[in-house]
């Protein structure tokens, strides 16, 4: 009897271990990694939580950064399921490089490029040309080669023929939130950021001027090819266009697409 009991306990232990292993594997299989533009940070944290409530078996893991840098990570093989960029051009590059599925692509939000100044600043910008005044010594701007906000700003200033005149005043940043931090801390006199960023730092920075970029600031998202959870990724991209997600985006200052 003792030998039988030992055998039964051994079998039960094996079954229990197997069940735990299967359960653990299932939880990892439902994980969803979303790489999103850093300007989406606050909104996507809430959207991710809302998606998890709607899809109880899914765990959303968020990765934020400059859109160009995120694309480089994906091209290099980073395990990402969804890519959400702050501009159409970066997503177009993702499509040309074959790292996203074209049929899954949607535009889910819009934004505006603004010039922000520290909350305590007395600087008044009635026109864009006022930014060339002597009181504006340092201007934070995202690196145009990888940061969409920086590229929008460069294109806008080139159109206004002001980019060459301001070259020595620029402080280039790794992403738009870093530019916001610089102006919020008073380390620069002005910064080109998104309206949503300025809203997020309402007690530390304020909008001095709203730009009118030729290219609209639109946010696309798409499923990454080779996703380990393609169904979950497609569901998340679709979720971004739902009324629930759109209301969250609007609370953070984004416009509807």
| Long-range CB pairs of 6-11, under 8 A, 24+ apart, other chains included | none
Same domain, 13 and 71: yes
- How remote is the C-alpha of 239 from its chain's centroid? 16
Whether 135 and 52 map to the same domain: the answer is no
Beta bridge partners of 82: 34, 223
Residues 243-256 have pLDDT tens digits of 999 999 999 999 99
Residue 10 has pLDDT above 90, yes or no: no
Judge if 204 and 237 occupy the same domain: no
The whole domain housing 37 covers 2-110+218-251
CA distance 98 to 100: 6
Please report whether residue 247 resides in a domain: yes
Considering the domain architecture, whether residues 225 and 103 belong to the same structural domain is answered as yes
pLDDT at 180: 96
Residue 16: predicted pLDDT: 34
Helix or strand holding residue 219 (H, E): strand 217-223
Same domain, 89 and 146: no
122 and 203 fall within a common domain: yes
Please indicate, yes or no, whether residues 159 and 37 belong to a single structural domain of this protein: no
The enclosing domain of 142 has a CATH number of 3.40.190.10
174 and 195 housed in the same domain: yes
pTM of this prediction?
0.84
d(CA 54, CA 60): 12
Averaged pLDDT score across all residues of the chain: 90
Q: Are 163 and 38 part of one and the same domain?
A: no
Residue with tokens 């702050």: 86
Q: For position 56, what pLDDT does the model report?
A: 83
What total of structural domains would you count in the chain?
2
Same domain (yes/no): 69, 137: no
């Amino acid at each position: 009897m003792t030998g039988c009991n030992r055998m039964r306990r051994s079998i039960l232990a094996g079954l229990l271990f197997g069940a735990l292993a299967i359960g653990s594997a299932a939880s990892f299989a439902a994980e969803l990694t979303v790489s999103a533009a850093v300007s989406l940070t606050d909104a996507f944290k809430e959207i991710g939580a809302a998606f998890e409530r709607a899809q109880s078996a899914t765990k959303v893991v968020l990765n934020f950064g400059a859109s160009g840098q995120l694309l480089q990570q994906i091209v290099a093989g980073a395990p990402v399921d969804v890519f959400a960029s702050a501009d159409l051009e970066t997503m177009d590059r993702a499509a040309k490089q074959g790292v996203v599925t074209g049929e899954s692509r949607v535009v889910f939000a819009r934004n505006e490029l603004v010039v922000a100044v520290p909350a305590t600043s007395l600087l008044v910008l009635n026109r864009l040309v006022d930014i060339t005044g002597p009181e504006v010594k340092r201007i934070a701007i995202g690196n145009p080669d990888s940061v969409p906000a920086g590229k929008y700003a460069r294109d806008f200033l080139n159109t206004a023929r002001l980019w060459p005149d301001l070259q020595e005043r620029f402080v280039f940043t790794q992403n738009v939130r870093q530019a916001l931090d610089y102006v919020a801390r008073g380390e620069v006199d002005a910064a080109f950021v998104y309206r949503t960023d300025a809203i997020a730092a309402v007690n530390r920075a304020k909008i001095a001027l709203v730009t009118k970029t030729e290219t609209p600031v639109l946010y696309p998202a798409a499923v990454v090819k080779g996703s380990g959870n393609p169904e979950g990724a497609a569901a998340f991209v679709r979720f971004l266009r739902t009324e629930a997600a759109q209301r969250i985006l609007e609370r953070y200052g984004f416009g509807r697409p």
